[in-house]
Structure 1
Amino acid sequence: MNAASDVDIEVDVLIVGAGISGLGAAYYLQRDLPKKSYAIVESRGAIGGTWDLHRYPGIRSDSDLFTFGYEFKPWKGDSIASAESIRAYLGDVADQYGMHDKISFHTKVVGASWNTDESRWTVEIENTETGQRSRARCSWLFAATGYYRYDQGFTPEFAGRAEFERTGRQVIHPQLWPENLDYTGKKIVVIGSGATAVTLVPAMAADAEHVTMLQRSPSYIVALPTRDRIADTLRALLPEQRAHAIIRGKNVLTQRAIWRLCQRFPVAARRLIRNNNAKQLPPGYPVDVHFNPRYNPWDQRLCMVPDGDLFAAISRGSASVVTDTIETFTPTGILLTSGKHLRADLVVTATGLNLQAFGGIDLTIDGERFSPADAVSFKGMMLTGVPNFAYSIGYTNSSWTLKVGLLCEHFVRLLDHMNSHGYSTCSPVLPDNLETRPLLDFDAGYVLRSLDQLPKQGPGFPWLTSRDYLNDVKLLRHGPVADPNLHFGTRRAQPTAASA
């Protein structure tokens, strides 16, 4: 498909985003509803979403690829893989299933307007290269956009930063990594202790003079092997699809067991992680200073380091960890509250994300502007007050794609149900006096900063966004599509409730 400035798009389903969620939605539509037309609009110039955006050193998965990859497309590489390998995998998916012709690149959705009389969305799209705008029309809008802003990350205000940069030194956020940045032989400070920081530190330590991970407080860090030996054995002995199913099932159960262990026995889980860290660090290392978080395991996502590469860099002396707070930047580095000074030629602010609901699309319903913060999520995929709109957000406590796959399957089942009953509209309706809470039940800083901009969730199904894959298999894959809270209608009729 050409750029949006060349043609208007008229389809049954418009998918926003050509990352792992968008390609997954396209696959299930093609497989189960081949008569439904669809198109994908992607603001970037390539598929991959976050895996195309982020180009910082060492970027790789923080989940195993047997579950982070698709159920329908066996992963053939190592359990932990680089962004380059993941992009190649997604490219293979698009090639194998003929999706490239359905994608409009450099095409950003600016706004979308729902018209009840027509039961259609009119979508304003902009070519990001030329600025030219045109329209798309669709019956369903599917937001495969994730939940963070692609054009900016989060960086706190640091006193003295301008003075530091005036000396020719640089401050860089990983989300906006400069192409061909040379940091060979430099002193580097990486601010942060999350997944991005623990990826950057060992990767940069290979070429830098020294890399310091400066953290305000520790995170849980777990070493996992890059290769899955059981998976390698199964793939050598069994047909590809059969081996993939067994490996995937094994890893699903393992992830679930670890999460439940952390939830039920946080003290034991903390001790287990701490002892594992101590074994990989030099004798006498202050583990309880730098690797002893104030929260319980899985109150925030665990950070994974492949083959313990972060611990290896610390043991070699090419990297170190400092737990302190920043007083001010100086012309030559960072002065800490303790009085210690860290010299730095380059500072990397791995300080988090900025969240953004549904790609920042400006939604209007029959001329009234819609605010996501006013809505409640239904089955983790639709919003009250928004007809014929679906979205996909993956798990925070397991592989993202496990949830996405089930949501896409359920979405396609919903469309099939509407076809079978002659419905043209579908919208969740909130029951009276439903208690609500934040959509993302997660204590990470980037989540807490943005809760007031996101929808809410309820106390139980179908208003609770489940984080349990096995429960979601029952509810989304095998459970009924119709629900007393989900109202269906036709183009010229009042909506009617469909019973379960």
Structure 2
Amino acid sequence: MAFEKGGENAYDVVIIGAGISGINFGYRLQERNPDLSYIILDGRHEMGGTWSLFQYPGIRSDSDLYTFGFPWRPWTEETSIAGGPLILNYLKESAQMYGIDKKILFHHQVNAANYSSEHKTWSFDVTANKTEKKTFRSKFVLLCTGYYDYHEPLKTVIPGIDDFKGKVIHPQFWPKDLDYANKNVVIVGSGATSVTVVPAMSRTASHVTMLQRSPSYILSTPSEDALERFIRRWFPVYYQHKLIRWKWIAVPFLLVTFCQYFPSLGKKMFRSATEPQLPPTVSYSPNFTPDYNPFEQRVCFCPDADFYRALRSGKASVETGVIEKVTADSVKLTSGKELHPDIIVTATGLKVRVGGGIDVSVDGKPYNVPEKYVWKGVMLQDLPNAAFVIGYVDASWTLGADATAQMICRMLNQMKKEGVDEIIPRLSDKEKNTMKDAPLLRLKSTYVKKGKDVLPKAADRGQWQARSYYWKDYLLAHYGDIKSSIEWNRS
């Protein structure tokens, strides 16, 4: 494989994004492809991605850290759900421990990427420090840019919101100087962000109301359960992380599978876990009765039942209804009820974006992502020498990111072994005529529905099926077919 060596800003691999996916890719390249040079480009001032950007009260993981953390650097804290600052510190320590931090260029915003079929090379137009123009080149590119827009939130139409005289805040751009002590707060939305913000703000606010048009499933999870305490007490330290990690891979997988095959029983199980947590003033129906089955949208987890404890304290409440109009000092619902907040938090979701908004082209021709299919969940149809990361919606993002990294590292080694310098996923004529479209993400969430015209497509068969679950993807990464529906070209 004719990887390029030397030259200014020329690397074998360019990784775009220094979040959890980019850092993990850097480690896997060092581990499995040590002969390849790489650089990580990030437009922000520090690594961490989501965990650097989001600063809203109580920011934390929405999955356990034993699987959300890196498999190569164990999560050693005795809590499964962790706060944002702790996660960011963990990422920085991990990158520093393995020298990955020395491979990152911050304040390097990638504006455009063009692949040359003649030279089998990617070129990147980059703005450094907001003013300096640079060009980087590589043979392979890894897009670790996440799935949402860092600069613009999802816009939701709320009638009259511009007439409100108080503060209107979106969690993605939380002001550091916001004082909500002794204020009445209305949080619009019922997803993981709302479930996080409600207990955090209720500690100092006068009252916090979660206003939802439709409810979510909210499941309490202990910071450390009995099985984890048993493992920590009776097993050597070397085995503790491995056992707890596999427990956190296995149990959610079994729970999700159970709910998919037995949705009615799944609903009953969630009800039996939720009702005992509610105070007499909060009814189960309609506030905790979603109109979809468990895991058709993301299930919200609250550590040590902090969300329900906030409800029982009387400092927080849930209101289910439709906003008719926001006035200068109130939120009027179609039911006739009125709320009188000092602050409105619009926790209404994220704006989906693929590739960090980079203008991608092949031989100068724009590449249109929504028209293309995803090969094995890791590469895009007709896009040479490129991979992108999309994680799981019902398990930790990092599990999917690492399965992708291991698959690509294996393919890079195979390219070198065979003297191949270009791989391109291609649809055969038979596939074009027989396969049907399928969702890339198995979610019915509003932000996913609104982002369907931005995301690439999956299919119902072959190498173009959507990513399924970690066990399968792990085996595919190590032993699966990497030749079907993909061209392996030698110069």
TM-score range, shorter chain: over 0.9
Residues 1:371 and 2:368 aligned together: yes
Cα deviation for residue 284 of structure 1 reads: 6.5
> Which one of the candidate residues 400, 410, 413 is aligned to 2:410?
413
Cα deviation for residue 236 of structure 1 reads: 4.6
Q: Deviations over 1:135-180 (max 9, x none)?
A: 1000011000111101121131323222213xxx100100000113
Supply the distance in 1 between the matched residues of 2:237 and 2:37 (Cα, whole angstroms).
Answer: 31
Q: Secondary structure at the match of 1:426?
A: strand
Give 1:353's aligned residue: 350
Give 2:97's aligned residue: 96
Supply the distance in 2 between the matched residues of 1:300 and 1:157 (Cα, whole angstroms).
Answer: 21
1:58-207 equivalences under 5 Å are 58-77=58-77, 78-127=79-128, 129-165=129-165, 169-207=166-204
Give 2:450's aligned residue: 449
Supply the distance in 2 between the matched residues of 1:476 and 1:461 (Cα, whole angstroms).
Answer: 16
Q: Deviations over 1:261-282 (max 9, x none)?
A: 1101111111111121110112
Q: Deviations over 1:227-252 (max 9, x none)?
A: 24433442454444422111111111
Q: Name which of structure 1's ranges 228-237 and 340-349 shifts more when overlaid on structure 2.
A: 228-237
- Give identity over the alignment, percent: 39
Q: 1:65–1:81: 8 Å Cα contact kept in structure 2?
A: yes
Q: Secondary structure at the match of 2:18?
A: coil
Q: Secondary structure at the match of 2:186?
A: strand
Supply the distance in 2 between the matched residues of 1:63 and 1:326 (Cα, whole angstroms).
Answer: 31
TM score, norm. by length of structure 2: 0.95
Q: 2:121–2:140: 8 Å Cα contact kept in structure 1?
A: yes
Supply the distance in 2 between the matched residues of 1:21 and 1:250 (Cα, whole angstroms).
Answer: 22
Cα deviation for residue 9 of structure 1 reads: 1.9
Q: 1:21–1:404: 8 Å Cα contact kept in structure 2?
A: yes
Give 2:213's aligned residue: 216
Q: Deviations over 1:325-357 (max 9, x none)?
A: 111111112111111110010000000010001
Cα deviation for residue 478 of structure 1 reads: 2.6
Q: Name which of structure 1's ranges 418-427 and 440-449 shifts more when overlaid on structure 2.
A: 440-449
Cα deviation for residue 470 of structure 1 reads: 1.4
Q: Secondary structure at the match of 1:288?
A: coil
Supply the distance in 2 between the matched residues of 1:159 and 1:384 (Cα, whole angstroms).
Answer: 41
Q: Secondary structure at the match of 2:296?
A: coil
Instruction: Call closer, same or farther: CA 1:240–1:143 in 2, change over 3 Å.
Output: farther
Supply the distance in 2 between the matched residues of 1:316 and 1:284 (Cα, whole angstroms).
Answer: 11
Q: Secondary structure at the match of 2:285?
A: helix
Q: 2:410–2:477: 8 Å Cα contact kept in structure 1?
A: no
Supply the distance in 2 between the matched residues of 1:29 and 1:152 (Cα, whole angstroms).
Answer: 32
Residues 1:319 and 2:311 aligned together: no
Q: Secondary structure at the match of 1:212?
A: strand
1:325-404 equivalences under 5 Å are 325-404=322-401
Q: Name which of structure 1's ranges 36-45 and 467-476 shifts more when overlaid on structure 2.
A: 467-476
Q: Name which of structure 1's ranges 417-426 and 281-290 shifts more when overlaid on structure 2.
A: 281-290
Q: Secondary structure at the match of 2:149?
A: strand
Give 1:42's aligned residue: 42
Supply the distance in 2 between the matched residues of 1:344 and 1:115 (Cα, whole angstroms).
Answer: 56
Supply the distance in 1 between the matched residues of 2:236 and 2:479 (Cα, whole angstroms).
Answer: 27
Give 2:248's aligned residue: 251
1:451-470 equivalences under 5 Å are 451-470=452-471
Cα deviation for residue 320 of structure 1 reads: 0.4
Q: Deviations over 1:391-441 (max 9, x none)?
A: 111100111111111110111000000000000000111122232223223
Q: Secondary structure at the match of 1:134?
A: strand
Q: Deviations over 1:6-43 (max 9, x none)?
A: x9521000000001100000000000111100000011
Give 1:494's aligned residue: none
Q: Which amino acid is the alignment partner of residue 296 of structure 2?
A: D
Q: Which amino acid is the alignment partner of residue 37 of structure 2?
A: S
Q: Secondary structure at the match of 1:114?
A: strand
Supply the distance in 2 between the matched residues of 1:208 and 1:353 (Cα, whole angstroms).
Answer: 25
Q: Name which of structure 1's ranges 355-364 and 202-211 shifts more when overlaid on structure 2.
A: 355-364
Supply the distance in 1 between the matched residues of 2:400 and 2:152 (Cα, whole angstroms).
Answer: 26
Instruction: Call closer, same or farther: CA 1:484–1:159 in 2, change over 3 Å.
Output: closer
TM score, norm. by length of structure 1: 0.94
Give 2:479's aligned residue: 478
Q: Name which of structure 1's ranges 152-161 and 27-36 shifts more when overlaid on structure 2.
A: 152-161
Q: Name which of structure 1's ranges 329-338 and 216-225 shifts more when overlaid on structure 2.
A: 329-338
Q: Secondary structure at the match of 2:356?
A: helix
> Which one of the candidate residues 302, 307, 311 is aligned to 1:310?
307
Q: Deviations over 1:52-77 (max 9, x none)?
A: 11000001111111111111111011
Q: Name which of structure 1's ranges 33-42 and 220-229 shifts more when overlaid on structure 2.
A: 220-229
Q: Secondary structure at the match of 1:148?
A: coil
Supply the distance in 2 between the matched residues of 1:348 and 1:244 (Cα, whole angstroms).
Answer: 38
Q: 1:187–1:345: 8 Å Cα contact kept in structure 2?
A: yes
Q: 1:425–1:488: 8 Å Cα contact kept in structure 2?
A: yes
Q: Name which of structure 1's ranges 8-17 and 348-357 shifts more when overlaid on structure 2.
A: 8-17
Q: Which amino acid is the alignment partner of residue 489 of structure 2?
A: G
Q: 1:152–1:176: 8 Å Cα contact kept in structure 2?
A: no
Supply the distance in 1 between the matched residues of 2:8 and 2:50 (Cα, whole angstroms).
Answer: 27
Q: Secondary structure at the match of 1:112?
A: strand
Q: Which amino acid is the alignment partner of residue 277 of structure 1?
A: T
Supply the distance in 2 between the matched residues of 1:58 and 1:124 (Cα, whole angstroms).
Answer: 37
Q: Name which of structure 1's ranges 7-16 and 61-70 shifts more when overlaid on structure 2.
A: 7-16
Instruction: Call closer, same or farther: CA 1:218–1:436 in 2, change over 3 Å.
Output: same
Q: 1:155–1:349: 8 Å Cα contact kept in structure 2?
A: no
Supply the distance in 2 between the matched residues of 1:319 and 1:8 (Cα, whole angstroms).
Answer: 57
Q: Which amino acid is the alignment partner of residue 9 of structure 2?
A: I
Q: Secondary structure at the match of 2:31?
A: helix
Q: Which amino acid is the alignment partner of residue 31 of structure 1?
A: E
Supply the distance in 1 between the matched residues of 2:445 and 2:260 (Cα, whole angstroms).
Answer: 16
Q: Which amino acid is the alignment partner of residue 85 of structure 1?
A: L
Supply the distance in 1 between the matched residues of 2:98 and 2:461 (Cα, whole angstroms).
Answer: 37
Q: Which runs of 5+ in 1 are unaligned?
A: 1-6, 492-500
How many pairs align? 480
Q: 1:373–1:452: 8 Å Cα contact kept in structure 2?
A: yes
Q: Name which of structure 1's ranges 7-16 and 129-138 shifts more when overlaid on structure 2.
A: 7-16
